[in-house]
């Protein structure tokens, strides 16, 4: 069950991401550039069926990604990420959660659609202020 519509990034953000991905093989990215890539690369995980569970089971640097969402101003995504941290210590299968854990995670995930809706605008503002 997907919780919300997939994010459609504006062309200028897509072009910037492509440029940064290319440049990352040639030079170290700034913290702001790395944050933008972290957010961009994490969105598909959060849009997946297993959402927060999948995030905590993935191989990403969880703390860096959370700090990246915070850096771009997406605190409404940081809160559910932090609240679901316990998922990282659970079974790799979301179906193995107890009924209480499932209900709790579902209640946390209810916060995400509104947070994801504002993400594109926050990223655009971040790019304009920090990367222009």
Asked if pLDDT for residue 92 goes beyond 90, the answer is no
* Gap between the Cα atoms of 79 and 115, Å rounded: 10
Question: pLDDT for 2-59, tens place per residue?
Answer: 556 789 999 999 999 999 999 999 999 999 999 999 999 999 999 998 999 999 999 9
* Gap between the Cα atoms of 106 and 115, Å rounded: 15
Share of the chain above pLDDT 90, in %: 87
What pLDDT does residue 3 have? 58
Asked if pLDDT for residue 82 goes beyond 70, the answer is yes
What pLDDT does residue 131 have? 87
What pLDDT does residue 1 have? 42
Angle at 8 between CA 4 and CA 9, to 5 degrees: 135
What pLDDT does residue 4 have? 67
What pTM was computed for the model?
0.93
């Amino acid at each position: 069950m997907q919780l919300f519509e997939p994010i459609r990034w504006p062309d200028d953000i897509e072009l910037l991401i492509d440029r940064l991905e290319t440049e990352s093989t040639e030079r170290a990215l700034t913290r702001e550039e790395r944050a933008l890539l972290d957010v961009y690369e994490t969105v598909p995980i959060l849009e997946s069926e297993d959402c927060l569970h999948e995030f905590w089971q993935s191989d990403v640097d969880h703390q860096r990604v959370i700090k990246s969402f915070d850096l771009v101003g997406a605190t409404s995504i940081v809160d559910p990420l932090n609240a679901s941290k316990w998922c990282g210590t659970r079974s790799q299968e979301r179906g193995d959660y107890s009924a209480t854990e499932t209900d709790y995670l579902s209640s946390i995930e209810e916060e995400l659609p509104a947070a994801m809706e504002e993400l594109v605008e926050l990223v655009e503002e971040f790019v304009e202020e920090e990367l222009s």
